Amino acid sequence: AMQVAISTSLKKEERDEDSDEEEDKLMTARCVLGLSVPYVVFQCARIIRENHLDVEGIFRISASQSEIKGLREAIDASTNCGVSELHGEAHDPYVLA
């Protein structure tokens, strides 16, 4: 299993000088390979891996655009990087993918 640590800020040398404060506050999931992805992407992948691997065509069949837009807007408006939006209700696995 891949080990993951959650980081709430980037190291000083990793910051882009042009990035704004909101981007600096974005939580990232850092794996042992040294890669980082937005925390919300990490959580979507985790939820799919734990609950939806048996869903046919999970990465091939598209979800409703209105459902995708609704989740995206809820995550964008979130004050905790989408954590409560992803865990608050069961989402269509196609939306998460």
Q: pTM score, two decimals?
A: 0.64
Quick one: pLDDT at residue 60?
A: 94
Q: Write down the pLDDT at residue 56.
A: 93
Write out pLDDT tens, residues 27-48: 666 655 566 778 888 888 888 9
Q: What angle do CA 85, 59, 24 make, to 5 degrees?
A: 45
Strands (E), the chain: 4-7, 28-31, 36-38
Domain ranges of the chain: 4-96
